[in-house]
């Protein structure tokens, strides 16, 4: 009995100790904004396999056209443009047209179309799997599965039951022969001077079914198709050598702030893939076949051997303030401007309910706080802090009467109240357009406020993370309510802005600088919350977005980029809208003649990271000299002039200062204080 009481006393003591000792709190679920009831979003169940519907789905991906409307608009899966329609898959190796205003691929004509001979042509494809670098399309009624892996010179089809598989073309078949009688390799020549190689995993017959059709009789196994990129026998030999190894998927791994790795899942021996020019610039070590290349709108695609790549961009400084600092003798002028800009905050009325323009309003005020810190003007901080609290909190706690954030369960992401019924509201935010643009501005403001008011930052941290993870969710383990990296393309290494809208030219993006702002702001949020992973991820994507902008949006004189032909390069210093299969000199909201706007939309907002985006002063000079004549046009606003002058200040500081001092109006995300800070920190 005494022993029993002793044991009971011990248990009671332990329980009392546990009750009085602080225990680790259970992990809290990520914050969710109220559920949206959208009437404009498409139904994802039409094209995604049922097992994929329980998780958030991509809304700005490289294969987005495959899951919208009829799913029959093409997508560019390098090096081929691929279209799925009527239970068949068509692909074309594109040619390109160049003018002084547009670079584009030729209208889609199927070089080859693959389908089951006895299919009723009424079914459609199903996305059964997808990853950063790949998508798998199944045709259940046809026994066909296509592994579409980006950068593969082969298109791979798995026929999983004995099926008669037909090959047709929009051209005429000149000849179709078995190579050396092997019956596992066939050479198909078309009347457009193309030669296609067809490889099968087991011997079969390829029979002629007419001038534009061939058939593999009752075949099961793997069929691979590859265009001969040139007539050199060495190229054919390379394709022969690597034809037996095929990738089934590809994933990207964000290692740290300066390493991105590709991991391809393959079947077979050595894997042959293709790298675009930015890949080649960043590859740290790889076996590169320099003479094996395909053409693309993004530049030559070069052969790389290996199922694992390491891309190592040079890290850039992600700082709150200018890298070089502001000289003290310029403090008085900046402080004088700050006094006026900060005083004006108290009278600023929120005349907009647009998530985009409201975000710019918030970010503009946040810039004033950081400038005040940098020029030792602490008296400005309390007013700015109060302003930011009053403007940001209603969007985070749902009390803003004109609009607000909601959570859409169907695709997994944020929409705004205004955009749940109107596809044009908030620039298509309700269809997942421009999420990184809008939210990037809010996140910048939130990050600065969390820096100058840590207690406020902790209070609203769940909502802040819900905003940033909408487009910068590293993986579903971080936040299961959002897809992985909504807007960033880990093959192209830049963002897309198109959302759930079907476009004949695929995804698109206009403003690279606003994309840079989004990832830069996310990195700053990591700094504000001492979150090393968020800071590193934001920093890496900032770096890649900048390098992609410099590669594909910035058009240097003399064709130095070697991406654009002379006609286009001569007339343009920046691309207006970059599409998957087109480069346009015009903008969504301005013509190509508005060069000051074309420059400005690739510069705004002016931030410390802007000096990295435009680190080449020589190119900045080219761009400014190209845009300056446009300022004499009727109707040019001073807001857009400010961005031209900002870049001009990189190489003509004193002359530009006078122009900036004379400005009476500024872009709604800019200010006199910000432009003076920029010029004086050059």
Query: For the segment 608-618, what is each residue's pLDDT rounded down to a tens digit?
Result: 999 999 999 99
Q: Are 468 and 535 in contact (CB under 8 A)?
A: no
Please list the residues that pair with 178 across neighbouring strands: 186
Same domain, 244 and 364: no
Look at residue 558 in the predicted model and tell me its pLDDT.
75
Residue 310 lies in a domain: no
Residues 341, 514, 545, 596: which is the catalytic one? 514
Q: Which residues of 474-510 are buried (b: 16+ CB within 10 A; e: fewer)?
A: eeeebbebbbbbbbbbbbbbbbbbbbbbbbebbbbbb
Residue 134 lies in a domain: yes
Residue 308 lies in a domain: no
Same domain, 241 and 109: yes
Same domain, 511 and 646: yes
Look at residue 152 in the predicted model and tell me its pLDDT.
98
* d(C-alpha 44, C-alpha 256), whole Å: 33
Crossing angle of helices 672-680 and 653-661, rounded to 10°: 170
Same domain, 72 and 145: yes
Residue 233 lies in a domain: yes
Same domain, 209 and 333: no
| Domain end among 265, 285, 309 | 265
Look at residue 182 in the predicted model and tell me its pLDDT.
81
| Domain end among 265, 290, 313 | 265
- Domain count across the chain: 2
Residues 374, 426, 434, 531: which is the catalytic one? 434
Residue 72 lies in a domain: yes
User: Any catalytic annotation for residue 434?
Assistant: yes
User: Any catalytic annotation for residue 514?
Assistant: yes
Contacts of 200-207 with CB under 8 Å at 24 or more apart are 200/224, 201/244, 206/167, 206/176, 206/178
Same domain, 252 and 340: no
Residue 455 lies in a domain: yes
Same domain, 251 and 377: no
Look at residue 134 in the predicted model and tell me its pLDDT.
98
| Domain end among 265, 280, 304 | 265
Q: Are 566 and 606 in contact (CB under 8 A)?
A: no
Residue 43 lies in a domain: no
Q: pLDDT tens digit string along 433-487?
A: 999 999 999 999 999 999 999 999 999 999 999 999 999 999 888 899 999 999 9
In sequence order, the 6+-apart residues with CB closer than 8 A to the CB of 662 are none
Q: What is the mean pLDDT of residues 53-60?
A: 97
Residues 426, 510, 531, 667: which is the catalytic one? 510
Same domain, 60 and 173: yes
Same domain, 260 and 334: no
Longest dimension (CA), the chain: 102
* d(C-alpha 216, C-alpha 307), whole Å: 30
Q: Containing domain of residue 438, as a range?
A: 328-681
- Which CATH number is 151's domain given? 2.70.98.30
Residue 385 lies in a domain: yes
- Asked whether the predicted pLDDT for residue 15 surpasses 80, the reply is no
Same domain, 422 and 348: yes
Label residue 557 by pLDDT band (50, 70, 90).
confident
Same domain, 121 and 228: yes
Same domain, 517 and 390: yes
- Which CATH number is 361's domain given? 1.50.10
* d(C-alpha 682, C-alpha 680), whole Å: 6
């Amino acid at each position: 009995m005494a022993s029993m009481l002793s044991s009971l006393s011990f248990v009671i003591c332990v329980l009392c100790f546990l009750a009085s000792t602080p225990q680790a709190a259970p992990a809290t679920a990520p914050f969710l904004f109220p559920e949206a009831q959208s009437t404009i979003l498409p139904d994802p169940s039409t094209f995604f396999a049922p097992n994929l519907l329980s998780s958030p789905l991509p809304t700005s991906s490289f294969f987005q056209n495959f899951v919208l409307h009829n799913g029959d608009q093409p997508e560019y899966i390098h090096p081929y443009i691929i279209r799925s329609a009527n239970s068949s898959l068509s692909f074309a190796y594109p040619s390109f047209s160049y003018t002084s205003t547009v670079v584009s691929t030729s209208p889609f004509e199927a070089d080859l179309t693959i389908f089951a001979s006895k299919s009723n042509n009424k079914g459609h494809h199903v996305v059964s799997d997808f990853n950063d670098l790949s998508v798998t399309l199944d045709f259940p009624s046809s026994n066909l599965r296509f592994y579409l892996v980006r950068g593969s010179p082969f298109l791979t089809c798995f026929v999983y039951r004995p099926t008669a598989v037909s090959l047709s073309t929009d051209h005429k078949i000149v000849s179709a022969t078995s190579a050396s009688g092997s019956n596992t390799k066939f050479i198909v020549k078309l009347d457009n001077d193309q030669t296609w190689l067809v490889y099968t995993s087991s011997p079969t017959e390829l029979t002629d079914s007419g001038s534009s059709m061939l058939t593999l009789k009752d075949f099961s196994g793997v069929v691979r198709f590859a265009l001969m990129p040139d007539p050199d026998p060495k190229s054919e030999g390379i394709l022969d050598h690597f034809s037996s190894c095929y990738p089934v998927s590809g994933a990207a791994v964000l290692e740290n702030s300066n390493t991105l790795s590709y991991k391809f899942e393959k079947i077979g021996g050595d894997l042959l893939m293709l790298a675009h020019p930015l890949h080649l610039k960043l590859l740290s070590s790889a076996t590169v076949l320099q003479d094996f290349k395909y053409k693309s709108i993004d530049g030559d695609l070069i052969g790389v051997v290996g199922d694992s790549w390491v891309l190592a961009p040079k890290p850039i400084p992600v700082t709150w303030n200018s890298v070089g600092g502001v000289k003290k003798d310029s403090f008085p002028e900046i402080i004088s401007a700050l006094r006026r800009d900060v005083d004006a905050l108290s009278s600023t009325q929120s005349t907009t309910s647009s998530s985009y323009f409201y975000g710019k309003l918030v970010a503009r005020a946040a810039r004033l706080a950081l400038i005040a810190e940098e020029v030792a003007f602490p008296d400005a901080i309390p007013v700015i802090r109060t302003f930011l609290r009053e403007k940001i909190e209603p969007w985070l706690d749902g009390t803003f009467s004109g609009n607000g954030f909601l959570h859409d369960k169907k695709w997994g992401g944020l929409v705004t109240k205004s955009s749940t019924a109107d596809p044009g509201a908030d620039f298509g935010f309700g269809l997942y357009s421009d999420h990184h643009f809008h939210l990037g501005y809010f996140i910048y403001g939130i990050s600065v406020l969390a820096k100058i008011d840590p207690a406020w930052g902790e209070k609203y941290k769940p909502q802040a993370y819900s905003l940033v993870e909408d487009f910068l969710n590293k993986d579903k383990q971080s936040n299961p309510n959002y897809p992985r990296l909504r807007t960033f393309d880990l093959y192209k290494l830049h963002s897309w802005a198109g959302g759930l809208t079907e476009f004949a030219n695929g995804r698109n993006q206009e403003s690279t600088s606003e994309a840079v702002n989004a990832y830069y702001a996310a990195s700053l949020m990591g700094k504000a919350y001492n979150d090393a992973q968020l800071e590193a991820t934001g920093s890496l994507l900032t770096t890649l977005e900048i390098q992609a902008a410099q590669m594909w949006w910035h058009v240097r004189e003399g064709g130095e980029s070697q991406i654009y032909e002379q006609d286009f390069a001569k007339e343009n210093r920046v691309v207006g809208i970059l599409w998957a299969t087109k480069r346009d000199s015009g903008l969504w909201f301005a013509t190509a003649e508005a060069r000051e706007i074309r420059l400005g939309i690739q510069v705004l907002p002016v931030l410390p990271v802007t000096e990295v985006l435009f680190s080449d002063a020589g190119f900045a000079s080219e761009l400014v000299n190209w845009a300056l004549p446009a300022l004499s046009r009727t109707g040019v606003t001073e807001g857009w002039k400010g961005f031209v002058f900002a870049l001009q200040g990189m190489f003509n500081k004193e002359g530009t200062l006078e122009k900036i001092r004379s400005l009476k109006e500024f872009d709604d995300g800019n200010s006199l204080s910000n432009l003076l800070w920029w010029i004086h920190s050059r």
